[in-house]
Amino acid sequence: MIEQALELAAKKAQGAEITLVRRRSTSADYEDDRLKRVDVAHTSRLRARVIVEGRVGTAETTDPRQCEDMISRAIAVAQFGSDAHFEFPCPAVFPEVRTYDPEVERTPNEELVAAGAEMLDLVKAYNPEIKVFATAAWSLEDRRILNSAGLDYSERASAFWLGVGGVLVRDTDMLFVYYNRDWRQKDLPTRLLAERAIERFRLAERTAPLASRPLPTIFTSRGSYVLLVSLLMGVNGKNVLKGDSPLAGRLGEAIASPCLSLVDDGTIDYAPSSSACDGEGVPRRRTELVTDGVLRSFIYDLETGAKAGAASTGNGPGCDASNTVISPGDLSLEDMIAGTDEGLLVEHVMGLGQSNIINGDFSVNVSLGYKIENGEIVGRVKNAMLAGNVYDALHRIEAVGSEPEWAHSTCTPPIKIAQLSVVAKG
């Protein structure tokens, strides 16, 4: 049917691209200390992108049998679409990237149920008052891209998820903890994940008062997305081209402390967002975004790259990052904490969507954070906020940790900011 869709599009369009994605998934979910559901799902998505009289039109369907209607809609939409500044890519040499582990789809439902139960039992053994939730899941995705330039690319990708956490309510206080891992290979570190969640509960057993003032702030690997969200929007080629990014026109300038080096790399074996090619049939690659604090590159898809006079970096469509990797430094998290007389360790925040993210401004609630005194964690902080600007904070990076950790498609070590505005609310 995908060949039929391309043939139909070629009759009226000067260029066409057809993508077919089929996905199977299975999950076992625990909520409130019990098995809530075991889901099995099968989905298909067929997408067409056409160039008609110099304009781009797109349409998609979840029923591949409706390909003729989809092509008609894409062609009709093209008259209102944006100008096409690009051509669909010819066949290319793609990097060898491992994205499929056959052991993933061989995992029976019973094994997923057992994995979730083991994590739940470990957390309950630590504290039976915690209402525990857990997930064990896998998926398999088959993707094929055809275009009118002769490209015909197919890829199979697997994914495996584990996650565990819980809610502890005492009077008016609610503590939420969650820890997860996802990878393209099968991995069952159930005890490790439960122990990581338990450790976060344990550090929060006591609370510690906090006064409003600038403090040294350490973001854990999972908390550092506060800093990365704005930066990744800033290097997105679409935002740069529109002039919305504060990084526009700043290639070659220092935008952060020399401690920071950041790459986008879609070619890492089994990483969550890895593949041999992007959604437009362009080979994935490793792109240096920031090196020793200096801005080196933006990320582009076909259309945005053509408008900017640059080649696609294999981040299409949409100029979104693939795997974001920050180079590790020399200090362990323990050393960072030990070297802090008074400060804040941030694990999770809430409310980032209320900030002016693209400009780097943020004002967020610390949903899980710990006070540091005399080089030790002394308890959980409550009713605290962080405020500031990401780009100012990046210049004030004092240290980058030595132990990077994956959180979905981001691999980052802890990051210590010399000073950040902390607002305590009572």
Mean pLDDT value of segment 337-343: 97
For residue 148, give the nearest of 2, 39, 246 by alpha carbon.
Answer: 2
- In this structure, are 218 and 110 located in the same domain? no
**Cβ atoms < 10 Å from Cβ of 147:** 23
Q: Which of 202, 232, 266 is the C-terminal boundary of a domain? A: 202
Q: What is the pLDDT of residues 220-265, one digit of tens each?
A: 999 998 999 999 999 999 999 999 999 999 999 999 999 999 999 9
Q: What is the pLDDT of residues 81-136, one digit of tens each?
A: 999 999 999 999 999 999 999 999 999 999 999 999 999 999 999 999 999 999 99
Mean pLDDT value of segment 72-81: 96
Mean pLDDT value of segment 46-59: 97
- In this structure, are 124 and 260 located in the same domain? no
Give the whole-number percent of the chain exceeding pLDDT 70: 99
- In this structure, are 43 and 108 located in the same domain? yes
Q: Which of 174, 202, 230 is the C-terminal boundary of a domain? A: 202
- In this structure, are 166 and 268 located in the same domain? no
The predicted pLDDT at position 354 comes to: 62
- 3-state secondary structure labels for all residues of the chain: CHHHHHHHHHCCCCEEEEEEEEEEEEEEEEECCEEEEEEEEEEEEEEEEEEECCEEEEEEECCHHHHHHHHHHHHHHHCCCCECCCCCCCCCCCCCCCCCCHHHHCCCHHHHHHHHHHHHHHHHHHCCCCEEEEEEEEEEEEEEEEECCCCEEEEEEEEEEEEEEEEEEECCEEEEEEEEEEECCCCCCHHHHHHHHHHHHHHCCCECCCCCEEEEEEECCCCCHHHHHHHHHHHEHHHHHHCCCCCCCCCCCECCCCCCCEEEECCCCCCCCCCCECCCCCECCEEEEEECCEECCCECCHHHHHHHCCCCCCCCCCCCCCCEEECCCCECHHHHHHCCCEEEEEEEEECHHHCCHHHCEEEEEEEEEEEEECCEEEEECCCEEEEEEHHHHHHCEEEEECCCEEECCEEECCEEEEEEEEEECC
- In this structure, are 172 and 309 located in the same domain? no
- In this structure, are 217 and 278 located in the same domain? yes
- In this structure, are 409 and 301 located in the same domain? yes
- In this structure, are 100 and 237 located in the same domain? no
pLDDT-derived band at 1, boundaries 50, 70, 90: confident
The predicted pLDDT at position 351 comes to: 78
- In this structure, are 174 and 291 located in the same domain? no
Between the alpha carbon of residue 416 and those of residues 230, 293, 324, 335, 420, the distances in Å are 17, 15, 18, 11, 10
Mean pLDDT value of segment 255-280: 98
Q: Which of 165, 187, 202 is the C-terminal boundary of a domain? A: 202
CATH of the domain at 157: 3.30.2290.10
Number of domains comprising the chain: 2
pLDDT of 65 higher than 90 = no
Q: What is the pLDDT of residues 298-323, one digit of tens each?
A: 999 999 999 999 999 999 999 999 99
pLDDT-derived band at 352, boundaries 50, 70, 90: confident
- In this structure, are 188 and 220 located in the same domain? no
- Can you give the residue range of the structural domain that contains 154? 2-202
- In this structure, are 193 and 243 located in the same domain? no
- In this structure, are 39 and 168 located in the same domain? yes
